[in-house]
Amino acid sequence: MTAPAPYRLRRDTQHKVIAGVCAGIARRYGISRGGLRLAFVISCVLPGPQFIAYLLLWLLIPAD
């Protein structure tokens, strides 16, 4: 019996809120979409390039 193939990293267009980046990352790594979105929103309060990183991921990760 073989293990199921892991999902490739792709933006999830069915469960997206803005661009599907968080949903795609959550699906790839098997974590909660809501939890990852909440962590991203909280991280935007902290100093750093989180918003720019999101925009870059939006451009670089292909849609499913």
Q: What is the pLDDT of residue 32?
A: 96
> What whole-number distance in Å separates Cα of residue 54 and Cα of residue 45?
14
pLDDT in tens, 32-42: 999 999 999 99
Burial, 50: exposed, middle or buried (Cβ in 10 Å; 0-12, 13-18, 19+)? middle
Q: CA of 17: how far to CAs of 9, 34, 41, 64, in Å? A: 17, 10, 13, 15
Share of the chain above pLDDT 90, in %: 84
Confidence of residue 62 (pLDDT cuts 50, 70, 90): very high
pLDDT in tens, 15-37: 999 999 999 999 999 999 999 99
Neighbours of 22 (CB within 10 A): 26
